[in-house]
DNA sequence: TCTGGGGTCCTAGGACCC
DNA sequence: TCTGGGGTCCTAGGACCC
């Protein structure tokens, strides 16, 4: 039997932990760049504001001017998430952290009553210790557990916010009332395809022949159908934190045409990818850079392009990765276009322990590795991003907007002090500049 | 004026091989 | 003139997730 614990309106709930005056008010948390709503309080949902709604359209909803908009602070949310996962881990078997606000775990095939009591206590404990409301559903498969937690969250009469779907009758009843696109694994496209065949709810979907399901979607859709029928068919690789790709990208605060400003951003992204690689004790062998214009601006010519470079050896050095990322960037940058977004992705990621030192470049490797370790140590001791590659020390033109950071308690300031936007003032980069940076900073 | 970021998996089709 | 069949690998693009 699987359970899914799901935090309600997670980012908004986190903001409310530190600012209870937001309780019972319509609140949304905005994406990077203050672009669109990525979390909504129940009050904001009740006003009809959809997920992903652009921030500038919110005021046009009835009572939309009352909505409180907040810039996202992911460092804060990650910290609260860790606390919740720790509490879950204390009682849950085989915890699988699926996302920042969701985790699956196993519950015994005991009586429903026993599980319900145990999970109700867990929900209350998380609310008491962390202050974030959580819903839990349990069922024979993860997909059904997800539906159960969703129903538990929405039902105002379910004060415990715990629901078990364990009997064929209860499962059928809920599936008949579950819209097809509310099923985990069925998105916009598959919803259209299924609706066109007259499939409106999850129960009807379970009745389709398997061959047809395979034709409409792919093997994943077949798995989803089996899950709804109670057959365990999907797995979560949350245990495997070894990423296959690591990406860092941003939409800029406004369009940019200057090459230097975009290359500064590229270096920043490359550096962030390298830091994450080192945190995961892994290396990457290839790096991809992409740039794109603003597809909402009909008045500007649109250009987008990407370039992948296979590096001579696997590395987690910020300087190595930034060097190759700049080469890739130089090959795709075109003068005369306005750019709105850029990013760096590293691929072919392997564990650093299996990485063999290149016989000809061993000395460089050791030098880089020691330098990077020193940087990680200093950043760990004195705060993130205290040491950075030289071009990214000052806040660039490319920095996204973040105009709705809320002030408040001291705790809040402590957290926002960890925000990348406010810690770029340090100037310790000279050491790096002397050591290595000049080798390739001269290109541009 | 203003529309996010970071992932995974699957499939079709091309290139290439024997 | 006639020009196979089967396999692998890679990549781009599509679909999904939070």
pLDDT band at A385 (very low <50, low <70, confident <90, very high): low
Contact A403, A71 (CB under 8 A): yes
In tens, the pLDDT along A140-197 reads 999 999 999 999 999 999 999 999 999 999 999 999 999 999 999 999 999 999 999 9
In tens, the pLDDT along A257-304 reads 999 999 999 999 999 999 999 988 899 989 999 999 988 888 888 888
Tokens read off for A413: 């300031």
SS3 per-residue string spanning A122-161: HHHHHHHHCCCCEEEEEECCHHHHHHHHHHHHHCCCCCCC
User: What sign for the dihedral angle of Cα A183, A188, A189, A195?
Assistant: positive
Which residues have CB under 8 Å from A294's CB, separation 6+?
A255, A300, A302, A338, A340, A341
- List chain B nucleotides near protein: any atom < 7 Å from a Cβ: 1-11
Strands ordered across the beta sheet of A37-40? A37-40, A27-30, A68-71
Q: Say whether the CB atom of A231 is under 7 angstroms from strand B.
A: no
User: Number of H helices and number of E strands within chain A?
Assistant: 17, 12
pLDDT higher than 60, residue A411: no
Residue of A234, A230, A233, A264 whose CA lies nearest to A250 = A264
Instruction: Record the pTM.
Output: 0.85
> Could you please report the per-residue DSSP string of A367-398?
HHHHHHHHHHHHHHHH-TTSS--GGGSSPPTT
The gap between A354 CA and C9 C1' (Å) is: 24
3-state helix, strand, coil in chain A (%, to 5): 45, 20, 35
Between the alpha carbon of residue A377 and those of residues A107, A207, A373, A384, the distances in Å are 40, 57, 6, 10
- Closest residue to B1 (CA, C1′): A56
Q: What percentage of residues in chain A have a pLDDT greater than 70?
A: 82
The gap between A211 CA and C6 C1' (Å) is: 26
């Amino acid at each position: 039997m699987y359970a899914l614990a799901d935090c309600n309106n997670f980012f908004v709930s986190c903001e409310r932990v530190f600012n209870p005056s937001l309780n019972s008010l319509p609140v949304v948390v905005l994406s990077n760049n203050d672009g669109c709503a990525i979390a909504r309080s129940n009050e904001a949902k009740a006003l009809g504001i959809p997920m992903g709604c652009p921030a500038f359209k919110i005021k046009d909803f009835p009572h939309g001017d009352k909505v409180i908009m907040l810039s996202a602070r992911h460092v804060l949310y990650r910290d609260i998430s860790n606390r919740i996962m720790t509490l879950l881990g204390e009682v849950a078997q085989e915890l699988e952290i699926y996302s920042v606000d969701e985790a699956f775990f196993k519950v015994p095939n005991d009586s429903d009553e026993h599980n319900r009591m145990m999970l109700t206590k867990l929900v209350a404990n998380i609310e008491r210790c962390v202050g974030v409301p959580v819903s839990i559903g349990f069922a024979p498969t993860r997909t059904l557990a997800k539906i159960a937690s969703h129903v538990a969250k929405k039902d105002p009469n379910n004060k415990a916010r715990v629901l078990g779907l364990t009997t064929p009758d209860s499962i059928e009843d809920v599936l008949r009332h579950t819209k097809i696109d509310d099923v985990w694994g069925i998105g916009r496209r598959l919803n259209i395809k299924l609706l066109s065949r007259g499939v409106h709810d999850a129960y009807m979907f379970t009745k389709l022949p398997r061959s047809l399901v395979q034709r409409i979607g792919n093997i994943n859709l077949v798995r989803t159908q089996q899950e709804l029928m109670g057959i365990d068919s999907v797995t979560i690789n949350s245990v495997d934190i070894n990423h296959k790709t690591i990406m860092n990208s941003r939409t800029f605060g406004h369009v940019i045409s200057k090459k230097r400003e975009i290359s500064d951003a590229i270096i920043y992204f490359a550096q962030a990818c390298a830091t994450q690689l080192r945190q995961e004790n892994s290396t990457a062998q290839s790096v991809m850079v992409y740039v794109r214009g603003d597809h909402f601006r009909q008045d500007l010519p649109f250009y987008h392009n990407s370039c992948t470079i296979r590096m001579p050896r696997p590395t987690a050095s910020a300087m190595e990765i930034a060097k190759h990322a700049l080469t890739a960037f130089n090959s795709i940058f075109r003068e005369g276009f306005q750019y709105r977004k850029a990013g760096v992705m590293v691929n072919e990621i392997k564990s650093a322990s299996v990485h063999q030192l290149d016989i000809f470049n061993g000395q460089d490797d050791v030098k880089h590795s020691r330098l990077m370790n020193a940087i990680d140590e200093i950043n760990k001791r004195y705060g993130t991003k205290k040491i950075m590659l030289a071009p990214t020390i000052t806040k660039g033109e490319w920095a996204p907007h973040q105009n709705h950071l809320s002030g408040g308690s001291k705790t809040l300031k402590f957290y926002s002090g960890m925000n990348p936007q406010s810690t770029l003032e340090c100037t310790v980069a000279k050491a790096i500049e002397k050591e290595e940076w000049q080798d390739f900073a001269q290109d541009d």
